[in-house]
Amino acid sequence: LGNNGGGAGSGGSGGATLPRDEPMWIEIPEDADVPVFLNNMPNDAMVVSTDGNKSKGFYGQADRALELLLPSLGIEVGDVEEVVEFQDDPNWEHFPAIGAQLKRIASAEECICVAVCRTLGVWAVGVGMKAKARYGAAKVALVGAMVVAAAEVGDDIADFAQELPAMAEFIEDCQQSREAWLARAAE
């Protein structure tokens, strides 16, 4: 896919927005033009959109969730920044194919941030007009995508229920969202 001619700009384009604070999935077409940042990544990714105004508890638990999750997946690292990379793309200049998939869900063009964990081969997208909010959404989406990917291959993962109850509830939503998305794709 080429540039969609638009981009999120500084204020979005109006129209219907993505559902807020809930996991959803997109798939980038095989023939889409994607930047090197997503080389060797799967075509599908989790997306979380936020308006940044009302803080759900799981956003505040994302860093701790990564600290618990990474070692349970065999990644011994003290600094999350060594394993997780972020690329902010407020105007869809780098990831127009992601923007095109988001527009299939909702017409508003909102800023995106892409998070990648190359070690696990997982990536995710945070959507929001405020930079701090979309980075947080990208991190939460990446945690959810990591857990779903680990569960799909039968890996044992950290149990968040006791220490991070809001994240545990979000992870359940991620797994249900994934199952529903796969069922729709199979139709």
DSSP letter string over 84-120? -EEEEETTSSS-HHHHHHHHHH-S----EEEEEETTT
Number of H helices, E strands in the chain: 5, 5
Mean pLDDT of 113-123: 95
What is the per-residue pLDDT for 116? 97
Predicted TM-score (pTM) of the model is: 0.88
Q: What is the pLDDT of residue 79?
A: 67
pLDDT mean across residues, the chain: 87
Give the residue among 126, 119, 122 at the shortest CA–CA distance from 22: 126
